[in-house]
Structure 1
Amino acid sequence: MHVRMGVEEEFHVIDASSGLLVPEAPALSADLPAETFTGEFQLSVIESRSGVHSTLGALREDLAAIRGTLVEAASEHGLAVVAAGTVPLVRGDSLGFAADERSAKMADEYQAVAEEQLICGAQVHIDIPDRDTAVRAMPVVSPWLSVLLALSASSPFWQGADTGYASWRTMLWQRWPTAGPAGVYRSAAEYDAAVRALVRTRVISDPGMVYSDVRPSDHVKTLELRICDACPDIGTVVLIAGLFRALVVDACRAVDSGDPPAPAPDGWLRAASWRAARSGLEGDLLDPSTGAPAPAGQVVRSLLARLRPTLEAFGDWEAVTAAAEAMLTEGSVARRLRNRAAGASWREVALALADSTRGGASAPATRATSSTSEARPSAA
């Protein structure tokens, strides 16, 4: 099998001494290659784009080298970077927005929602035959996306407090008008018409503001996963990429067969995401096979069993299973962060997150080359 994937990772920029989130992404971006790194809506966030790869091993090497480049550049500015849904230390006043007309309009329209968009995610792009298939595959993969969210959950802390959630980023993200389930469409034309109708409402300004859990790319033939927190450990990102690729491949087969499963109701999908954001891997998840709650380990293993033939076809079964079982044993990132935070200051927690992010980095000179000459994926 030859189905390629790419990853976009968002990173918080923090002061390397205080651990405080700072609006220094533009200064950092200026020292980095524009084809790999870009600024975001908030001035405290920088995004990286991997190459496009056919194997999880090549993807891991690329992500490690990208982080190495970013970590080195940050250190030269007295900064550090954090790959997590949120960071615990944020000052009270605005950190500012990108200096372009679109960002200014968003800041003015969305007010506090925009001000508090101090979150980071990891997006995965998977090759898809065409946009019609991508659109029809969305409801097939959607019931399992909450499991991927639970695996990524890394944002229990917000503004110097424990929120009680494994992914508080999800709660902040869902306040945008287009966040959540992707919906059900018969074709790319029908999907595009629905997006144009949304833009005409002027609640959103352009198709790039469709923030659904999964969406077809506008400019490359991929299906994009958007539900996950950024992950301190590169291994978690690679695990999620492997699982999502298998989900997408199986969904395309179901669409091609002409008999895909009935879509789950939006209400159930929202409930499943909330459950995953609330408890991560430490409580129940909603099991798409039954619609009912079940222990997280049982649901994760159910997903693995479902995807085993496809994971084996890619040569991913052993690596993906080992990574998933390790997470189930060790607990979610959120639980590990809480354990680390016990008796520590918020500054120490923020810097520990930076250390975890740095831990998977490799020297910039070892950067893996893309396994394709095609352009890198890019989210709007």
Structure 2
Amino acid sequence: MSVHIGVEEEFHVVEEESRLLVPRADTLLEGLPGRTFTTELQQSAVESNSAVHTTLDDLYADLTGTRRRLDSAARERGLAVAAAGTVPLARASAQHPTDDFRYQHMVDEYQTVADEQLICGAQVHVDMPDRDLAVRVMCEVSPWLHVLLALSASSPFWLGADTGYASWRTMLWQRWPTAGPIGCYANAAEYDEAVQDLISSKVISDPGMIYYDIRPSAHQQTLELRICDACPRVETVVLIAGLYRALVTQARERLQEPDAPGCQGRHEWLRAAGWRAARSGLEESLIIPDTRRAAPAEQVVRSLLARVRPTLEADGDWKTVQELAEQALADGSAAHRMRRTAEDEGLAACVDLVTAETRGERRTGRRPAAGAAGG
């Protein structure tokens, strides 16, 4: 039977008329069930939590239903929601921390890093039988995580300007002291000791502030993928979830073998591979983990598909994941679609594209701009 998976998605709150990012999450959450939707550090974002599933079809149905409920609540309030790493039209004044002691402490401690946390991601949880295995699996799957980042890349704009990156969210995220590639640990006790050292040093205040690309969940028996941008298309989230589960499943099986490999000490090139994926998404080159050499993104994605195909076939996921991957390669990253729309029609149209894709539409045109003008 397939391993259980779950997804957390973060969404930007946008004013429907102006297309500007606005700190109105509290208003939006008033009309939504607390068991599914919750706050984030900044009031310009909300988070949804899926149920636990074994099939990608069920996950897809869950996520699309959640997005419909969120979109309906937003429209009633003159708002829209955007699943993307960053939104094109935002002002620094959009910062408005959620009234929560922990969040307020983070703002006081980290200052501009927290103030500019106007970013959204998608996290995937895969069930693990124990934390020792979860910690060992992290090291095994880390070389391929940058490919999942490239598939998710959806943040080319920051405060109205084109950054030149496919995932500027990654660059912003890595300013936190516990973000980026994670080290390798022999077991859970060694990992937990490292986390406690960070807390004791007052670099972070609690285990929930471990923001590495992958981590054992602080409150569930899962291994959590954290490297990805939020994705406008729900199909991209399902694709990433399927690939990630297959990577984790393969690693679990490999580590149970008598001659299981140990850590090869790859932190420096993992960070470089992540930077490459954030810079170019699916539109240029990525790093092949086996050779640590650059290759066209399409080739690297297909290498990952070939690697996990036996597991995907065993779980009945191969056809779905293959079709979604081929569609992603044909259409290009969300960052590419956003940039193309902005170049042709302006930033307001780019926001319209993202909000439309978030609610499940496939929009090619744009409505007349109102309020904030794009360029």
Please indicate, yes or no, whether the TM-score normalized by the shorter chain is above 0.5: yes
| Matches of 1:197 and 1:155, distance apart in 2 | 33
Q: Report the 3-state secondary structure (helix = DSSP H, G, I; strand = E; otherwise coil) of the residue aligned with 2:157.
A: coil
What displacement does 1:256 show?
1.2
Contact 1:143/1:264 (8 A) holds in 2: no
Tell me the residue number matched to 2:368: none
What displacement does 1:264 show?
4.6
Tell me the residue number matched to 1:123: 123
| Matches of 1:101 and 1:141, distance apart in 2 | 35
| Matches of 1:96 and 1:247, distance apart in 2 | 38
Contact 2:21/2:44 (8 A) holds in 1: yes
User: Please, which runs of 5 or more residues in structure 1 have no aligned partner?
Assistant: 362-380
Tell me the residue number matched to 2:63: 63
Tell me the residue number matched to 2:249: 249
Deviation track 1:258-305 (CA, whole Å, cap 9, x = no partner) reads 413543511100000000000011111010011111111111111111
| Matches of 2:164 and 2:110, distance apart in 1 | 26
Deviation track 1:93-125 (CA, whole Å, cap 9, x = no partner) reads 252101111111111111111111100000000
Q: Report the 3-state secondary structure (helix = DSSP H, G, I; strand = E; otherwise coil) of the residue aligned with 1:359.
A: coil
| Matches of 1:352 and 1:330, distance apart in 2 | 14
Deviation track 1:59-98 (CA, whole Å, cap 9, x = no partner) reads 0000000001000000111100000000011123252101
Q: How does 1:1-380 map to 2 (within 5 A)?
A: 1-258=1-258, 259-260=260-261, 262-359=263-360
More displaced 10-residue stretch of structure 1: 326-335 or 342-351: 342-351
Tell me the residue number matched to 1:376: none
What displacement does 1:178 show?
0.3
- In structure 2, give the amino acid aligned to 1:356: E
| Matches of 2:272 and 2:334, distance apart in 1 | 21
| Matches of 1:253 and 1:81, distance apart in 2 | 39
Contact 1:9/1:122 (8 A) holds in 2: yes
Deviation track 1:191-215 (CA, whole Å, cap 9, x = no partner) reads 1111000001111111100000000
| Matches of 1:311 and 1:206, distance apart in 2 | 36
Q: Report the 3-state secondary structure (helix = DSSP H, G, I; strand = E; otherwise coil) of the residue aligned with 1:118.
A: coil
| Matches of 2:243 and 2:48, distance apart in 1 | 21
Q: Report the 3-state secondary structure (helix = DSSP H, G, I; strand = E; otherwise coil) of the residue aligned with 1:52.
A: coil
Contact 1:152/1:236 (8 A) holds in 2: yes
Flag as ranges the 4+ runs of structure 1 deviating above 6 A.
Answer: none
**Number of matched residues?**
361
Contact 2:184/2:263 (8 A) holds in 1: no
What displacement does 1:217 show?
1.2
Q: Report the 3-state secondary structure (helix = DSSP H, G, I; strand = E; otherwise coil) of the residue aligned with 1:260.
A: coil
More displaced 10-residue stretch of structure 1: 214-223 or 143-152: 214-223
Contact 1:285/1:296 (8 A) holds in 2: yes
- In structure 2, give the amino acid aligned to 1:66: T
More displaced 10-residue stretch of structure 1: 320-329 or 43-52: 320-329
Contact 1:13/1:81 (8 A) holds in 2: yes
- Percent identical among aligned pairs is 60
Q: Report the 3-state secondary structure (helix = DSSP H, G, I; strand = E; otherwise coil) of the residue aligned with 1:93.
A: helix
User: Please, which runs of 5 or more residues in structure 2 have no aligned partner?
Assistant: 363-375
Name the TM-score, length of structure 2 as normaliser. 0.94
Q: Report the 3-state secondary structure (helix = DSSP H, G, I; strand = E; otherwise coil) of the residue aligned with 2:20.
A: coil
- In structure 2, give the amino acid aligned to 1:299: V
What displacement does 1:182 show?
1.5
Contact 2:10/2:45 (8 A) holds in 1: yes
Q: Report the 3-state secondary structure (helix = DSSP H, G, I; strand = E; otherwise coil) of the residue aligned with 2:235.
A: helix
